[in-house]
Structure 1
Amino acid sequence: MPPPPGRREQRKAETRQAISDVATRLIIERGFEAVSMSEIADAAGVSRKTVFNYFASKEQLVFDRDDEARQLLREGMAARTSMTPLAAFQGLVRELLDTGHPLLRINAGAASFWKTVAQSTVLVAHARQLQALLTDDLAQLMAASARRPADDAEARLGASMLMASMVAAYEQGLRAMSFGGDPRQAMLPLIVRGAKGTLVALAGTPYTDPSARP
């Protein structure tokens, strides 16, 4: 008999994660361009077709948490609709930092991962594409919260500033760890400064001022 739907989905998720883990290990060891999809399939003990059933490209094998990051942003903002969009984003970031969520956690594995990314123009481009998608998502979530059009320019400005500050903070955390410092403590000042800059840029708007909300 086939496994029940819940178990079937769990097995698919486990297979997907196992393939991604093997791919990431090989790519960190040898470099993105030096590893083929066939080699990844062989190392994972599955067929090449199976790999493509889960991942449309080799880039997606490396950045296997793209969808999770976008979903996390949507759910985190939706859970804080009583706050201004800026406060909601700050609350989400603080929660991820305090709980040590993998998407913001900085350790030796993360450092090796991002070093590999930096050595590949293809992976750098994919990382920037993800940043752009997250920025678009955040801008639309902010606009919806403020009951403004999805393409509102002020929402776009705020989202761009906040996401850029997060990228800068994460890079600073990686740099701090390489010198034996505390990544979290290195990240916090830039995150706070980014939020303060956004507060100034969007002063008097519903994105930062509850009294301005319709």
Structure 2
Amino acid sequence: MPRTGERGGPQTRARIAEVAARLFLERGFDAVTVADVAREAGVSSVTVFNHFPRKEDLFLDRAADAEQLLHATVRDRPAGTGVLASLRAATLGLLDARHPLSGVNDRSVPFFGTVAASPALIARAREIAYDLQRTLAGELGRDPGFTGDADLFAAFFVAGYGTVLVQTAQRLIAGEPHSAVLDEHRARFERLFDALRAGFGGSGGDQA
């Protein structure tokens, strides 16, 4: 039976996610059960599943943030700003803030190391990437300022973004100098946007 007041809201969700991340990083994802997380967070397993439908989502808990960011980047961009310019600004803004979604947060290296060690997390990460691709394609398809192939653009952007993150994590895990890796991280994002501009600029990529 759930404990009194344990269902909570954002604070309960945040506490559960924080506890889960700590346990997964300490012991490895596959060695920790949902019951372990619930017990450590002081809630029931039912409450955990009320906030996180899958165990994998306890660790990959930024998917909703990424989806909301894609919606806002397309829908709420300033007048006269194209989709590509808006995506670039959002991407570099995350990087400058060292946001977890930038791939260069202080916890990025242990995060990616934990994901790489778990087939379940790898599979879920691929599902999330596909969902984000569909989210972006849907937004572009409804945007009158974008006249290109929304599905193709979204596939290139999401796959390219993920590739930059994963390869940066691999280099950091291998012990390469942090400053050099971060410089290349930004440069590779710029090359991604250059490629998108070259491929889609005439149909909405640059104004888009």
- TM-score of the alignment, normalized to the shorter chain, above 0.5: yes
Using the TM superposition, give the Cα deviation of residue 195 of structure 1 relative to its aligned residue in structure 2, in angstroms: 1.4
**Mapped partners of 1:208, 1:140: distance in 2:** 19
Report if aligned partners of 1:165, 1:190 keep a CA contact under 8 Å in 2.
no
Name the CA shift for 1:105/1:206 in 2 (closer, same or farther; >3 Å).
Answer: closer
Structure 1 runs (4+) deviating above 6 angstroms are: none
Name which of 114, 117, 123 aligns with 1:116: 114
Q: Which residue among 58, 61, 70 is the counterpart of 1:61?
A: 58
SS at structure 2 position matched to 1:23: helix
Q: In structure 1, what is the equivalent of residue 95 of structure 2?
A: 97
Query: How many angstroms does 1:50 deviate by?
Result: 1.6
The amino acid of 1:84's aligned partner reads G
Deviation, 1:142, is 2.1
Q: Is the 8 A contact 1:28 1:116 kept in 2?
A: yes
**Identity percentage of aligned residues:** 31
2:50 is equivalent to residue 50 of structure 1 = no
Query: d(CA) in 1 for partners of 2:141 and 2:182?
Result: 30
Match of 2:126 among 125, 128, 147: 128
Tell me the SS of whatever aligns to 1:56. coil
Instruction: Tell me how far 1:168 sits from its aligned partner.
Output: 1.8
C-alpha deviation, 1:127, in angstroms? 0.7
Residue of structure 2 in register with 1:32 after alignment: 29
Give the letter aligned to residue 36 of structure 2: E
1:100-158 CA-partner distances (Å, limit 9, x unpaired): 3232152442211111111111100111111111111112222222367xxx8711111
Task: Structure 2: state its 5+ residue gaps.
Answer: none
Task: Find the counterpart in structure 2 of residue 155 from structure 1.
Answer: 150
**1:172 is aligned to 2:167:** yes
Bigger relative contact order, structure 1 or 2 (CA pairs below 8 A, ≥6 apart) = 2
Are 1:142 and 1:155, in contact at CA under 8 Å, matched by a contact in 2?
A: yes
Greater shift in the superposed pair: 120-129 or 190-199: 190-199
Report how many residues are paired. Answer: 198
Residues 153-212 of structure 1: CA deviation (Å, up to 9, x unaligned) = 7111111112222112212332443312224312122111111211222242123347xx
Tell me how far 1:62 sits from its aligned partner.
1.0
Structure 1: which amino acid aligns with 2:124? H
Q: Distance in 2 between matches of 1:83 and 1:33?
A: 44
- What stretches of structure 1 of length at least 5 have no aligned partner? 1-7
CA distance in 1, matches of 2:28, 2:170: 21
Report the CA distance shift for 1:132/1:54 in structure 2 as closer, same or farther (over 3 A): same
Normalised by the size of structure 2, how large is the TM-score?
0.85
Distance 1:107 1:122 in 2: 23
